[in-house]
C-alpha cells in the first residue's frame, strides 16, 4: 500500500458506496455505507463531519434512505433537473464541503473506494476554497466495524470456450473460438495504437471477460476480486491465490496464455516497480480507484476507457444467443 498522508487533523470523512473496482454491486465485507448509516440502496455517498452525518442519493432512493437511515442522518437529495422538479437545489458534495469548512480543512477519503474521476469532480468543486481531499491509509469505518464479514473466498472457474463465441464472422467455435490468448492479442494491438506499454485493468467484469474466467465473490455477479496488468509480452493476475485452482492453471495452458499470478495485495508495490521501466504510456481508466491512478505520473497516463470495455460491448453470435437464452428461457 502506498504511503498515504497522515490525516490526524482531518475535518470529515467521505464514505461512498463504491468498491475500488467501480461496481454498484458489493460483497458484504464492502458494505461500509450500509453499516455506518443503515441505508442499503445501490447508490449513495455518506459524508461524516464532527457535527453532521449526510447522505447524498438520487430520486430512486429518497424514500428508502429516509426509512433506513439511523437517527442523526440528513438526506441530501440529488436532483438532476431542479427546474422541472421544483425541489430546492442540493449542493454537490464538493460544494457542501467548501461552504462548510474553512481554508486549510482536510477531508479524509479512502482512496481505494473513490474513483479517480469522482475524486477530480469533488476536488474541482472545492477549487479556491482551500479545502482538500486527503487520502487515508485505513478506512475509518473498518476501525469500528467489529463483526465485519470476511472477504469472499470462493474459487474461480474457467469458462468453457464454446461459450466465448467465434473469433471472426463466419467461423465456428469448433475451429476458431475466442480464447483468452486471442483477446489479449487484440488488447495489445489496441495498446500499440495508443503507444501504451502497460494496461492496468481494474473492472471485475472486464477481467472475467478477458481471461474467460468466472467467479462468485459478489452475489448475482460472475466476477472475482482481482486486478490484471497487460504488457506487450506478459499478463499478470493479482488475486487471492487460494482461488486459483488447478483447473484455472490448466485453462491458461490450454488456451496458450502464460499468466503470472501474484497475491492480490501486491498490486501497489508491483506498479511502483513497473512504472520506471515503461518506455510508453500506462493505460488505466479514470473509473479505476484514485489510489491506483495517482500512482501513475500524469504525463505518461492514458485515462480513457479501456479497450476491453469496448471489445466486450460488441457481442458475437454465441454471446447474443446466450443473452436471449438467459432472459427468455
Which domains, and CATH codes, for the chain? 12-144 (3.40.350.10), 157-328 (3.40.350.10)
pLDDT at 291: 96
Euclidean distance between CA atoms 253 and 114, whole angstroms: 36
pLDDT at 228: 99
pLDDT at 9: 45
Strand partners, 132: 106
DSSP helix, strand, coil percent of the chain (3-state; round to 5): 40, 20, 45
- The HSE-up count of residue 69 (CA atoms within 13 Å, CB side) is 22
pLDDT at 167: 57
CB 217 within 8 A of CB 258: no
Report the relative pairing of strands 45-49 and 227-231 from DSSP bridges.
unpaired
Q: Report DSSP state, residue 288.
A: S
pLDDT at 318: 75
- Note down pLDDT in tens along the chain; length 329 residues: 333 334 444 566 555 544 444 567 899 999 999 999 999 998 899 999 988 999 999 999 999 999 999 899 999 998 765 555 556 689 999 999 999 999 999 999 999 999 999 999 999 999 999 999 999 988 999 999 999 999 999 999 999 888 887 655 554 444 456 899 999 999 999 999 999 999 999 999 999 999 999 999 999 999 999 999 999 999 999 999 999 999 999 999 999 999 999 999 999 999 999 999 999 999 999 999 999 999 999 999 999 999 999 999 988 777 777 777 766 54
Model confidence, pTM: 0.88
Euclidean distance between CA atoms 17 and 34, whole angstroms: 8
pLDDT at 12: 60
- As given in the structure block, the three cell numbers for residue 325 are 437464452
| Nearest CA among 237, 283, 278 for reference residue 258 | 237
Amino acid at each position: 500500500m502506498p504511503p498515504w498522508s497522515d490525516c490526524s487533523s482531518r475535518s470529515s470523512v467521505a464514505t461512498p458506496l463504491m468498491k475500488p473496482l467501480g461496481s454498484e454491486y458489493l460483497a458484504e465485507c464492502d458494505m461500509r455505507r450500509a453499516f455506518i448509516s443503515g441505508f442499503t440502496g445501490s447508490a449513495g455517498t455518506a459524508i461524516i463531519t464532527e457535527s453532521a452525518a449526510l447522505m447524498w442519493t438520487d430520486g430512486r432512493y429518497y424514500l428508502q434512505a429516509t426509512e433506513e437511515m439511523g437517527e442523526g442522518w440528513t438526506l441530501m437529495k440529488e436532483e438532476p433537473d431542479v427546474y422541472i422538479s421544483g425541489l430546492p437545489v442540493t449542493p454537490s458534495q464538493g460544494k457542501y464541503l467548501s461552504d462548510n469548512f474553512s481554508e486549510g480543512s482536510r477531508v479524509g477519503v479512502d482512496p481505494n473506494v473513490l474513483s479517480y474521476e469522482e475524486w477530480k469532480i469533488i476536488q474541482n468543486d472545492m477549487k479556491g476554497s482551500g479545502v482538500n481531499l486527503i487520502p487515508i491509509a485505513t478506512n475509518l469505518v473498518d476501525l469500528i466495524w467489529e463483526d465485519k464479514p470476511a472477504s469472499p473466498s470462493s474459487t474461480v472457474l474457467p469458462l468453457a470456450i464454446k461459450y466465448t463465441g467465434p473469433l471472426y464472422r463466419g467461423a465456428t467455435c469448433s475451429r476458431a473460438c475466442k480464447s483468452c490468448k486471442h483477446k489479449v492479442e487484440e488488447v495489445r494491438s489496441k495498446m500499440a495504437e495508443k503507444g501504451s506499454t502497460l494496461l492496468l485493468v481494474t473492472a471485475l467484469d472486464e477481467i472475467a471477460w478477458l481471461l474467460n474466467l468466472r467467479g462468485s465473490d459478489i452475489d448475482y455477479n460472475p466476477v472475482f476480486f482481482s486486478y490484471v496488468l497487460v504488457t506487450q509480452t506478459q499478463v499478470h493476475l493479482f488475486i487471492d491465490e487460494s482461488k486459483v485452482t488447478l483447473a484455472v492453471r490448466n485453462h491458461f495452458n490450454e488456451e496458450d496464455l502464460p499468466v503470472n499470478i501474484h497475491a492480490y495485495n501486491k498490486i501497489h508495490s508491483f506498479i511502483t516497480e513497473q512504472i520506471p521501466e515503461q518506455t510508453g504510456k500506462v493505460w488505466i481508466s479514470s473509473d479505476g480507484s484514485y489510489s491506483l491512478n495517482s500512482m501513475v505520473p500524469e504525463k505518461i497516463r492514458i485515462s480513457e476507457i479501456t479497450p476491453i470495455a469496448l471489445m466486450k460491448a460488441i457481442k458475437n453470435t454465441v454471446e447474443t444467443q446466450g443473452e436471449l437464452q438467459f432472459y427468455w428461457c
